[in-house]
């Protein structure tokens, strides 16, 4: 029993000698270590606060999508949904997702993957996830040997766009840039032996998702001019058949923007279209923004970076031979 005690005494003495030596070499060393630990703690607290803000904002933005809200409105209020789904996510996921780069979009995908395991009392939790799912079937035809090729469908939740590319491309419209990303960025070699020519791949969809998601991946610390150059290209509606090759039979291929997850400083805001106007939700506050042009102005004025945009499919019914009345999204 005496030997372990002797070892402990030697280790304690060695540690004390090292502390005394450090103090003689640099009297401020112990203070510096305390400062470093304090800064590390502050950084971790800041990151945790940002993650919590991102989680709450994603959940609030999902609730603002009417097709999502409709499935749960008989069970939850908005506050109850955010609270209960937040608790479920926190209990099933270590919050290790980085909030830099495209971390917030990865966070959304993880939430969608967890939702089918969420016991809400709702009959089919899977449908809450499937309304965001999009299956792309890559197809190509070699322009040299004319060989057709079709690949297995791939699951996606929408598009990820690089904000910097959106500025550099100098698209005259948001639609043309999305079209460019989908139709002119993926190339594969011909499958015919001896050919190998690289050809563009066309992405085909047969069914339309209820919600189409577009994520913007930003750099850090964009200037006001860069934020303006990016957001000024954004649009509040588009036709998905002009982006993908659509081989389904629905005539309702238009999508309208209904909510957004935005970063303002270190905190996330939700912007939602309600009662024919845009409203900004931040912290516990609510601010009426107005029309779409006012939203674009607020991005510049407040240095807000939209990171996730939720577009909902515009459904409707035929009223006459050539007349279609589109249904409300809110």
* pLDDT classification of 14: cutoffs 50, 70, 90: very low
Instruction: Please state the rounded mean pLDDT for residues 11-34.
Output: 51
Contacts 24+ apart (CB under 8 A), 219-223: 219/163, 219/164, 220/100, 222/163, 222/305
Of 129-143, 182-196, 238-252, 289-303, least confident by mean pLDDT is: 182-196
Greater pLDDT, 273 or 127? 273
Instruction: Tell me how far apart the alpha carbons of residues 89 and 117 are, in angstroms, rounded to a whole number.
Output: 10
Q: What are the sequence ranges of the domains in the chain?
A: 45-118+127-313
For residue 181 the two structure tokens come to 């990303």
Contact 183, 202 (CB under 8 A): yes
- How confident is the prediction for the chain on average, in pLDDT? 78
Multiple choice CATH, 45-118+127-313, 3.90.70.10, 3.20.20.370, 3.40.50.720, 1.10.357.140: 3.90.70.10
pLDDT over 60 (residue 213): yes
Query: Which helix (H) or strand (E) covers residue 134, if one does?
Result: strand 134-141
For residue 253 the two structure tokens come to 């291929």
Instruction: Tell me how far apart the alpha carbons of residues 77 and 213 are, in angstroms, rounded to a whole number.
Output: 24
Q: Give me the pLDDT at residue 266, please.
A: 84
Instruction: Tell me how far apart the alpha carbons of residues 92 and 86 are, in angstroms, rounded to a whole number.
Output: 10
For residue 257 the two structure tokens come to 């923007």
Distances (CA, A) of 81 to 1, 63, 70, 84: 59, 8, 12, 5
Q: To 5 degrees, how large is the angle CA 289–CA 291–CA 294? A: 60
Of 93-107, 261-275, 279-293, 313-327, least confident by mean pLDDT is: 313-327
Instruction: Please state the rounded mean pLDDT for residues 190-217.
Output: 86
Of 2-6, 70-74, 149-153, 326-330, least confident by mean pLDDT is: 326-330
- Which spans in 115-155 are helix H? 126-130
The β-bridge relationship of strands 324-326 and 198-200 is: unpaired
């Amino acid at each position: 029993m005496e030997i372990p005690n002797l070892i402990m005494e030697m280790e304690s003495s060695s540690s004390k000698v090292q502390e005394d030596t450090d103090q003689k070499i640099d009297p401020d060393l112990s203070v510096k270590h305390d400062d470093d630990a304090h800064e590390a703690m502050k950084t971790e607290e800041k990151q945790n606060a940002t993650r919590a803000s991102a989680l709450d904002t994603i959940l609030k933005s999902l609730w603002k999508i009417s097709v999502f809200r409709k499935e749960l409105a008989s069970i939850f209020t908005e506050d109850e949904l955010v609270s209960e789904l937040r608790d479920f996510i926190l209990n099933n996921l270590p919050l290790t997702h980085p909030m830099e780069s495209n971390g917030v979009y990865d966070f959304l995908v993880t939430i969608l993957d967890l939702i089918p395991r969420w016991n809400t009392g709702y009959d089919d939790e899977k449908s809450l996830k499937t309304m965001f799912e999009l299956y792309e079937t890559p197809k190509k035809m070699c322009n040299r040997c004319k060989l057709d090729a079709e690949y297995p469908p791939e699951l996606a939740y929408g598009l990820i766009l690089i904000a910097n590319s959106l500025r550099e491309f100098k698209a005259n419209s948001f639609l043309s840039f999305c079209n460019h990303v989908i139709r002119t960025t993926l190339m594969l070699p011909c499958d015919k032996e001896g050919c190998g020519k690289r050809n563009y791949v066309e992405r085909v969809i047969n069914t339309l998702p209820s919600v189409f998601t577009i994520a913007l991946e930003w750099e850090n610390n964009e200037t006001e001019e860069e934020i303006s150059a990016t957001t000024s290209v954004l649009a509040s509606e588009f036709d998905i058949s002009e982006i993908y090759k659509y081989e389904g039979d629905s005539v309702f291929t238009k999508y309208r923007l209904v909510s957004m997850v935005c970063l303002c400083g270190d905190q996330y805001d939700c912007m939602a279209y309600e009662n024919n106007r845009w409203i900004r939700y931040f912290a516990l506050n609510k601010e009426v923004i107005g029309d779409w042009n006012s939203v674009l102005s607020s991005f510049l004025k407040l240095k807000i970076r939209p990171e996730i945009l939720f577009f909902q499919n515009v459904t409707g019914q035929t009223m006459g031979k050539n007349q279609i009345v589109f249904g409300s999204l809110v």
